[in-house]
Amino acid sequence: MNNRYDFLFLFDCQDANPNGDPDAGNLPRIDVETGQGLVTDVCLKRKIRNFVALTGGGQEGKRIYFTEGAVHNLQHKGAFEAIGETPAKSVKPEIKDKATAWMCQTYYDVRTFGAVMSTEVNCGQVRGPVQLSFARSIDPIVSSEHAITRTSVTNEKDIEKERTMGRKFTIPYGLFKAQGFVNPFLANQTGFTDDDLELLFTALENAFQFDQSAARPAGSMNPRALIIFKHDSALGSAPSHKLFDLVTVKKKDGIEVPRSINDYDVAIDEAAMPEGITLIRRI
122 and 188 fall within a common domain: no
pLDDT of the residue at 119: 86
Q: Of 81-90, 97-106, 225-234, which range is least confident?
A: 81-90
102 and 86 fall within a common domain: yes
pTM of the model: 0.93
Tell me the pLDDT of the chain averaged across its residues.
94
32 and 138 fall within a common domain: yes
Its sign, for the CA torsion 207, 208, 212, 214, is positive
175 and 264 fall within a common domain: yes
Give dist(CA 39, CA 32) in Å, integer: 14
pLDDT of the residue at 57: 74
Say if residue 3's pLDDT is above 70: yes
The total of other beta-carbon atoms located within 10 Å of residue 152's CB is 9
∠ at Cα 255 (249, 256), nearest 5°? 100
17 and 138 fall within a common domain: yes
Inside any domain, residue 47: no
64 and 29 fall within a common domain: no
Give dist(CA 192, CA 196) in Å, integer: 6
> What is the 3 state secondary structure string of 52-79?
HHHHHCCCCCCECCCCCCCCHHHHHHHH
Range of the domain at 73: 58-126
> Using the 8-state DSSP alphabet, how is residue 261 labeled?
G
Do residues 91 and 122 touch, judged by C-beta distance below 8 A?
yes
Q: What are phi and psi of 192, to 5 degrees?
A: -70, 120
Grouping H, G, I as helix, E, B as strand and the rest as coil, residue 259 is: coil
- Return the higher-pLDDT residue of 212 and 13: 13
Say if residue 204's pLDDT is above 90: yes
In tens, the pLDDT along 224-280 reads 999 999 999 999 999 999 999 999 999 999 999 999 999 999 999 999 999 999 999
Give dist(CA 105, CA 171) in Å, integer: 40
Confidence label for 62 from pLDDT (cuts 50, 70 and 90): very high
Give dist(CA 100, CA 81) in Å, integer: 13
Q: What's the alpha-carbon Rg for the chain, to the nearest Å?
A: 22
Give dist(CA 185, CA 44) in Å, integer: 23
197 and 237 fall within a common domain: yes
138 and 251 fall within a common domain: yes
Inside any domain, residue 53: no
Q: Which residues make Cβ contacts (< 8 Å) with residue 236, sequence separation at least 6?
A: 4
Its sign, for the CA torsion 147, 150, 156, 161, is positive
Grouping H, G, I as helix, E, B as strand and the rest as coil, residue 269 is: coil
Say if residue 48's pLDDT is above 80: yes
pLDDT of the residue at 162: 65
268 and 138 fall within a common domain: yes
Confidence label for 155 from pLDDT (cuts 50, 70 and 90): confident
The total of other beta-carbon atoms located within 10 Å of residue 212's CB is 14
| 251 CA to centre of own chain | 25
Say if residue 160's pLDDT is above 90: no
In tens, the pLDDT along 174-203 reads 999 999 999 999 999 999 999 999 999 999
Give dist(CA 3, CA 268) in Å, integer: 21
